[in-house]
Amino acid sequence: MQGKIALEEHVAIEPTLSDSKVFGAHVWGDLGPRLIDVQDMRLREMDSHGIEMMILSLNAPAVQSIHDVKTAIAVARQANDVLAEHVAKRPARFAAFAALPMQDPDAAITELNRCVKELGFVGALVNGFSNIGTPDNVTYYDLPQYRPFWRAIEGLDVPFYLHPRNPQPGNPQFQGHNWLLGPNWAFSAETAVHALRLIGSGLFDEHPNLKLVLGHLGEGIPVQLWRIDGRNGWMKEPHRYPAKHGVGHYFRKHFHLTTSGNFHTPSLVNAMTEMGADRVMFSVDWPFEDVGQGCDWFDKAAISEAERAKVGRDNAVKLFKLKI
Ligand code: GRE
Ligand code: ZN
231 pLDDT band, cuts 50/70/90, is confident
Per the domain annotation, does 324 fall within a domain?
A: no
Percentage helix, strand, coil for the chain under 3-state DSSP, each rounded to 5: 55, 10, 35
Tell me, yes or no, whether 235 lies in a domain. yes
* Residue 79 pLDDT: 99
Q: What mean pLDDT is predicted for residues 155-159? A: 98
pLDDT at 236 over 90: no
> Which neighbouring-strand residues pair with 280?
257
Note the pLDDT of residue 289: 98
Q: Which of 9, 17, 20, 23 to mutate to test the pocket of ligand 1 (most atoms within 8 A of CB)?
A: 23
Q: Is the CB of 62 under 6 A from ligand 1?
A: no
Q: How far is the CA of 261 from the centre of ligand 2 (A)?
A: 8
Q: In the chain, pLDDT over 70 holds for what percent of residues?
A: 100
232: left (phi over 0), alpha (psi -120 to 50) or beta: left
Instruction: Give nearest CA residue, ligand 1 atom 3.
Output: 285
183-205, pLDDT tens digit by residue?
999 999 999 999 999 999 999 99
Distance 32 CA to ligand 2 centre (A): 15
CA atoms within 13 A on the CB side of 13: 20
pLDDT at 67 over 90: yes
**Ligand 1 pocket, residue 183 CB under 6 Å:** yes
Q: Give the closest residue to 68 by CA, choosing from 122, 132, 116.
A: 132
From 179, 284, 288, 291, the mutation candidate for ligand 1 (largest count of ligand atoms within 8 A of CB) is: 288
The total domain count for the chain is: 1
Query: E strands, 25-127, where?
Result: 51-58, 94-98, 123-126
Pocket flag, ligand 1, residue 128 (CB < 6 Å): no
From the alpha carbon of 60, which atom of ligand 1 is closest?
10
Average pLDDT in the 97-116 region?
A: 99
- Kindly tell me if the per-residue pLDDT of 93 is higher than 90: yes
**Whole-angstrom distance, CA of residue 50 vs CA of residue 270:** 25
Question: Given ligand 1 and candidates 18, 31, 285, which is best to mutate, with the most ligand atoms within 8 Å of its CB?
Answer: 285
Looking up residue 62, the CATH number of its domain turns out to be 3.20.20.140
pTM greater than the 0.85 cutoff: yes
pLDDT at residue 258 tops 90:
yes
Residue minimizing CA distance to atom 10 of ligand 1: 60
d(CA 181, CA 295): 26
d(CA 311, CA 297): 13
CB 185 less than 6 A from any atom of ligand 1: no
- Is residue 222 domain-resident? yes
Range of the domain at 188: 4-319
Tens digit of each residue's pLDDT (9 = 90 or more) over 20-56: 999 999 999 999 999 999 999 999 999 999 999 999 9
Closest of 68, 55, 63, 52 to residue 95, by C-alpha: 55
Alpha helices by DSSP H, 145-290: 147-156, 186-200, 203-206, 221-228, 247-254, 265-275
Q: Residue 321 CB: number of other CB atoms within 10 A?
A: 11
Enumerate the active-site residues.
285
Asked if residue 142 has its Cβ within 6 Å of ligand 1, the reply is: no
pLDDT beyond 90 at 96: yes
Identify which of 168, 187, 145 has the alpha carbon closest to the alpha carbon of residue 285. 187
